[in-house]
Structure 1
Amino acid sequence: MNTVIAVAIVFGSIVTLVALVCGTVVLLVRARREGLSPSRRQQRNDEAAVIQELYQGLARMEKRVEALETILMEGQGKDGRDNEKL
């Protein structure tokens, strides 16, 4: 009885694996043949532009933070105290 269950599990797994591989191949072929629709292509271009703007903004922010760190380091004395007068 246990061998029958084991054989059923093995064959069921093989059938499932074959179906999964075939489905993946069919989807890849269909996607390759049809390509991207114009609206989807425009959406990807818009997303890329937003990501580039975010990256540039973060780069500018990083430069500002570095400048502030430099100002703060120059403001501290050699003994670690602040040179600012209140």
Structure 2
Amino acid sequence: MCSVFIAIITIGGSILALVILGIIIIGIIRAAKTGGLSKIEKDSRAEETRMIQDIYNALPKMEERIEALETILIERGHQNR
């Protein structure tokens, strides 16, 4: 009787191990096909990249504006004296 339980547990454990291994292999294949990211995640990252590039490209203009404002404030300070 005890050997029957051991056989059932062994067979059940083997089937469970095969199912888990199959799920892991399927997951690895799907991740390799899609590059690990879903289409929504790829679109989101692309949008974030565009936004960061826009900000980076706008920084020199902002720097020029700040320098112009500083110049204006300095000139007004000299005029008030």
Rg larger in 1 or in 2? 2
Fold equivalence (TM over 0.5): no
TM-score range, shorter-chain basis? 0.3 to 0.5
Higher helix share: 2
TM-score (norm 1): 0.42
Structure of greater relative contact order (alpha carbons < 8 Å, 6+ residues apart):
1
Q: Report the TM-score, using the length of structure 2 for normalisation.
A: 0.44
